[in-house]
Structures are given as structure tokens and as C-alpha cells.
Amino acid sequence: MLPKKNRPFFSTNLGNAYLGDSLELLPQLPESSVDLICTSPPFALLRKKAYGNVHSNEYVDWFLEFARLFSKVLKPKGSIIVDIGGTWNKGFPTRSLYHYELLLKLCAPVSEGGGGFYLAQELYWYNPAKLPTPAEWVTVRRERVKDAVNTVWWLSKDPHPKANNRGVLKPYSEAQKNLMKNGYKPKLRPSEHNISNKFQNDNNGAIPPNIINGHDEGEIGDLVAVNVISASNTASNDKYLRLCKEHNVQPHPARFPRALPEFAIGLCTEAGDTILDPFAGSNMTGHVAESMGRKWIAFEQDENYLKGSVFRFAPNGTDSKVENDVKVEDDIKNKFAQGTLFEKPSKKYKVQGKQK
């Protein structure tokens, strides 16, 4: 948490969201106080987003300034899980290498001007709902295929960061369940891997691959990594979009699917740990952290996005289509009007504009 002089924009039981520039807020956080930084900065995109994007030529230097501050606030065994989408070179059907250049720089020694991090693992976010752009290369000339994967760099200060893949197990496939039930004859695979009878052990779930499957269209998300919670994910995002619309707040245009922070938090932290998102946007990270019993800190420089992010914490029961929907919605509106929508409402927080 920041010192008391920095009043949070809003607070919940486990977290605080602050309005401001992370470059100014990060130095105020105590050193070695954060277990995980899970975030998605603005990318170096060809088409500018509403919240601004840095050009790919300047991106590495721009990000490195943040990375040095991340290193200070991270605990020695802490991790950074950062979603960095790729982009195209302007005017050509060729890909920019900026996110790989960034990775190399982040993992270069501090003495050589780098970030001094280790690459713990590359993760990939598969987003099947991504549009087939740039249209010129994908849908008009048909020279390229749809780009539907973001690279997600998992970085750490120690070669053995705090991590436990038991926190992200996925349900066993039917084939694996059959194998555990009916037995398996140990044998050498064509790849020469020796499959022992340990494959028959039930370890409460399968170790997931490094592909996080989730998309944004109402953020259905989460089909591979932790697919048991995909239904609740859809519901919570519906709540976010619905309440944004109702209170005339612009929803964030590039939200995380629930699956991404859920995977990162499940893998690298345990209950009670602290997660920071320094580019919080709609604060999916904080919302997921809270639901997983972790403390969270969100920094976001755009007030409008923080206003919308408050809706993620609207009380349970408002996030699913229940029979008595109207009553539930009225209840939220009343609570909102009375300032009691949240457990600890910030006096500073007031929704501007139309309120039905």
C-alpha cells in the first residue's frame, strides 16, 4: 500500500486503486513489498488506442524506466507477468521484433543497461476472438493468417521465483481419466521418452501448458488453463459492461480476460500475497486477486477507467441473469446513489454523467 498521503481512488476489503502515473506512484511503494506484478502496458501498436501507445522505436527505453522501478518493489522471489502483444511493421506484411528486443533488454545484466531479470518462462495468450488485421494482408491480399496470440513474458529476479503449478491445474482429459482407471503399460514413446506407470497417479489435475486460452468478447475466456471457472468469468464481465453502460462510463477497450491474471496469480502467489498492476485499466487483475484472497494494488492514470473498474466489485448476485433481474439492478442503483455499493466506498468516487 502507498503511504497515507496518497488517498486511494477506491478501496475494497483486499485492495486499493490509485489514480496517477505509475512512474510517480511506484517510487512511493515500499521496496520488496510486492509478490507479483501482473500487467499489460500499452503496446507499440500501428493503430493508436484511446489510451495512447508508444512507438516501437522508443518502446524499449520507455518500458525500461518502469522495469527498474518494478525490480525495486518486487520481493526477491517475486515475478513479473507482462502481456506484450506483437505488431506489424508499417506498410509491410512483416512483424516488428520490438517485444523480443524488449525481452532481451529486460534480461540483459544491469551493468549493461538491462533490467537484470531472468526469463522464467514464455507464456502465450491465445485469443480466438482477435480480428483478422491488418485487413490488407489478412483479408484482402490473403498473404498472412490471423494473429491471435500475445506473448506474455514471465520474468523474475531469482532463477527460482516463488511458483507452484498446483495452483493452476486443469481438469484431466477423458483419455487421462481412462488411463488412470484402466491402467497403462509403461513403454518407450517413438520420441524415446520413457512413459512410466507414474502417469497413472491421480495428482488432482493435469499440469497445464504455457498457453492461456481466453478472449474478450464479453470475456468468455479461460478454456484451457483453468476452464472450470469460465462461466463465472462471462458473468462478471457482463456485470462490468452493463454497469458501465448504465452509468455512462466508457468501458476499457483492451481488457484482460479473467483467465490471464487468474493463471498468473494461481501460479506465482498464495492467499495473502500482494499483486500489483501498474497499468490497471479496468482492473481485471485486482478483481481476480480479490476473488482469490490476495491483496492487490492498482495504478491507472485515466480516471474514467478507474471509475468503470469499480463496477467489477459490485456485490455478488448482480453478476448473473437471475429471475428477478430488475430488482437486483434497482438494488445496485440505490446502493450506488447512497454510496454503499462497496464495503469501503471512497468519498472521492462519484460517477459523472447520467444516472438512471
Task: Compute the least distance from the CB of residue 181 to ligand SAM, in Å.
Answer: 40
- Cα dihedral across residues 94, 82, 8, 350: positive or negative: positive
> What is the grid cell recorded at 285?
487483475
Report the length, in residues, of the chain. Answer: 356
Residue 233 sits in the site that holds ligand SAM (CB under 6 A): no
How many angstroms separate the CA atoms of 292 and 283, rounded? 14
Residue 9 sits in the site that holds ligand SAM (CB under 6 A): no
- C-alpha closest to that of 348 among 12, 19, 44: 19
Compose the 22-61 pattern: x for residues touching ligand SAM by CB under 6 A, - for all others: xx----------------xxx--------x----------
Instruction: Compute φ and ψ for 129, nearest 5 degrees.
Output: -85, 0
How many angstroms separate the CA atoms of 98 and 43, rounded? 10
Task: Compute the least distance from the CB of residue 161 to ligand SAM, in Å.
Answer: 21
How many angstroms separate the CA atoms of 73 and 96, rounded? 30
83 annotated active-site: yes
Stretch that binds ligand SAM, among 17-25, 116-124, 238-246, 318-326 (CB under 6 A): 17-25
Active-site hit among 11, 22, 35, 40: 40
Task: Compute the least distance from the CB of residue 235 to ligand SAM, in Å.
Answer: 17
Residue 299 sits in the site that holds ligand SAM (CB under 6 A): yes
Q: Which is nearer to ligand SAM, 106 or 328 (CB)?
A: 106
Q: Are strands 10-11 and 15-19 parallel, antiparallel or unpaired?
A: antiparallel
Sole residue written with cell 544491469: 110
Q: Which is nearer to ligand SAM, 236 or 269 (CB)?
A: 236
How many angstroms separate the CA atoms of 296 and 13, rounded? 10
> What is the grid cell recorded at 341?
455499493
40 annotated active-site: yes
Compose the 254-293 pattern: x for residues touching ligand SAM by CB under 6 A, - for all others: xxx----------------------x-xx-x---------
Q: Which is nearer to ligand SAM, 9 or 256 (CB)?
A: 256
Site for ligand SAM in 196-225 (CB under 6 A): none
Q: Which is nearer to ligand SAM, 158 or 302 (CB)?
A: 302
Active-site hit among 8, 56, 71, 83: 83
Buried b / exposed e over 66-101, threshold 16 CB at 10 Å, is bbebbbebbbeebbbbbbbbbbbeeeeeeebebbee
Alpha helices in 227-283 (DSSP H): 230-246, 259-268
- Enumerate residues 6+ apart whose C-beta is below 8 A from 68: 115
How many angstroms separate the CA atoms of 95 and 111, rounded? 30
Task: Compute the least distance from the CB of residue 345 to ligand SAM, in Å.
Answer: 21
Site for ligand SAM in 302-341 (CB under 6 A): 302, 305
Task: Compute the least distance from the CB of residue 112 to ligand SAM, in Å.
Answer: 25
- Using CB under 6 A, pick the residue from 75, 252, 258, 307 that binds ligand SAM: 252
For the annotated catalytic residues, the residue numbers are 40-41, 83
Residues interacting with ligand SAM, by CB under 6 A? 21-23, 40-42, 51, 252, 254-256, 279, 281-282, 284, 299-302, 305
